[in-house]
Structure 1
Amino acid sequence: MIENKIKTLRRAAKVSTMPDSDKIWCVIAGNEEMVNNVAYAAIIDKERVKILCREHISTKESFVTKKFDFILLYGDINKIRELSLICKENGGSYLKIAPYYVLNEPNLMLTVGPDNSIKKFMGDCEKNRVKLSFLLEDKTTGFIETDVYITSKLPAFVRSTIDPLFKMADVALSTVLISTDQVYIEKIKEIAKLNKIFVIEFSKILKEE
């Protein structure tokens, strides 16, 4: 079962009372241009922040393909704050992951996907009696890129007018950090795949770091 959000709020309050760590993790998601800007800012200041991974993700629903980018960073807390501002100013979503979560929460997993898909994923986990803790969440407020298949069947002169209207869609993207027991990890991955959302085990990122 998904644990009560009150537990999450208590954890967050506990984190806020802890001394600031020198380094934290941060996951940023949104349209490709915004993530490119974040990546560039990280690359030119690589002594203070490291890019752990980056993914370009496409999900297909009916006639629409939704496209977004995801980047995971680790580094100086002040630099991470700067990068998160770039993200928010451009309508992206971000999660700052404090060492508290890494030390105290088992089997952290990051999930990224359209908001409606994330909600269905959570509901399916509930139906399948998958035990997980909902720790952190953020949503995009900007646009992500989309392609509409039906426009490809239109005459070229019509498509050139209509395509730009569909290229950037106001689709909410959710980034969620969860934790679970080891026995549920494969089931969570299976449910995530069925719902066409991106999921990654945080522990594997730490091993590669």
Structure 2
Amino acid sequence: MIESKIKVLRKAAQVSTVQDSDKIWCVIAGNEEMVNNVAYAAISAKERVKIVFREHVNLKESFVRKKFDFIMLHGDSNIIRELSLICKENGGAYLKIAPYYVKNESNLILLVAPDNAIKKFAGDAEKDNIKFSFILEDKTTGFIETDVSITNHLPKLLRDVVDPLFKLTDMVLSTILISTDEQYIKQIKKVANSNQIFVVEFKEIIEEE
């Protein structure tokens, strides 16, 4: 399935048109294998889409370490649409950020974290009277890897049996795009960092492009 989509992407990237398709931004998040597939497909269509950055995140909560990846892309909307299908078919979260949002929404900020951390962030921001608006949101439906460090102390034979049970997690990963006023940006970053949320200020990405 992945290989067939990559062939389609390669053909699409080679097709020259009089007028290029609109360029859009997108963020894809989920388990490492899914993001690897998206990255590979994006590289196969590198003439029409660019990998802006990719992050591998490890979050430790008590004895549990949660692992996930996310990637930001920019390029041809048709190619990115195909990449989004790889994401959604494999349980990932996907945000399509059209030029409209970049032009018309002030101070866009991307947040990526487990869903419970995002909800905690929203609650903390409300308590501190930090104003922001939700623009886009998506959540994973697929497998997200976790490690439980307490199993490291078990005998290997028992650990081999127990580890897979802990790795089967129902953790939901959320990707959120918000808009806020300039005065709240530092506060939002502070609250997000305290909740172990990955934060990207969108204008910094645009300035680098």
When normalised by structure 1's length, the TM-score is: 0.88
One-letter identity of the residue aligned with 1:98:
A
3-state DSSP of counterpart to 1:169: coil
The alignment covers a number of residue pairs equal to: 189
Looking at structure 2, the residues matched to 140 and 168 of structure 1 have their Cα atoms a distance apart, in angstroms, of 14
Which residues of 2 match residues 103-142 of structure 1 at below 5 A? Answer: 103-142=103-142
User: Is residue 71 from structure 1 mapped to residue 71 from structure 2 by the alignment?
Assistant: yes
One-letter identity of the residue aligned with 1:74:
H
Identity %: 71
5+ residue gaps in structure 2?
1-20
Looking at structure 2, the residues matched to 192 and 129 of structure 1 have their Cα atoms a distance apart, in angstroms, of 14
Which residues of 2 match residues 1-209 of structure 1 at below 5 A? Answer: 22-209=22-209
Looking at structure 2, the residues matched to 163 and 145 of structure 1 have their Cα atoms a distance apart, in angstroms, of 11
Looking at structure 2, the residues matched to 132 and 63 of structure 1 have their Cα atoms a distance apart, in angstroms, of 33
Q: Deviations over 1:16-69 (max 9, x none)?
A: xxxxx6111000000000000000000011011100011111111121110100
Looking at structure 1, the residues matched to 207 and 167 of structure 2 have their Cα atoms a distance apart, in angstroms, of 37
Looking at structure 2, the residues matched to 182 and 174 of structure 1 have their Cα atoms a distance apart, in angstroms, of 24
Looking at structure 2, the residues matched to 66 and 149 of structure 1 have their Cα atoms a distance apart, in angstroms, of 11
Looking at structure 1, the residues matched to 53 and 65 of structure 2 have their Cα atoms a distance apart, in angstroms, of 23
Relative contact order higher in (CA < 8 Å, ≥ 6 apart): 1
Equivalent residue number for residue 9 of structure 1: none
Looking at structure 1, the residues matched to 192 and 41 of structure 2 have their Cα atoms a distance apart, in angstroms, of 31
What is the aligned-residue RMSD (CA, Å)?
A: 0.9
Deviation at 1:168, TM superposition (A): 4.1
When normalised by structure 2's length, the TM-score is: 0.88
One-letter identity of the residue aligned with 2:183:
V
Deviation at 1:206, TM superposition (A): 0.6
Looking at structure 2, the residues matched to 123 and 98 of structure 1 have their Cα atoms a distance apart, in angstroms, of 28
Looking at structure 1, the residues matched to 91 and 74 of structure 2 have their Cα atoms a distance apart, in angstroms, of 21
Equivalent residue number for residue 13 of structure 2: none
One-letter identity of the residue aligned with 1:138:
D
Equivalent residue number for residue 8 of structure 2: none
Equivalent residue number for residue 10 of structure 1: none
Looking at structure 2, the residues matched to 195 and 143 of structure 1 have their Cα atoms a distance apart, in angstroms, of 22
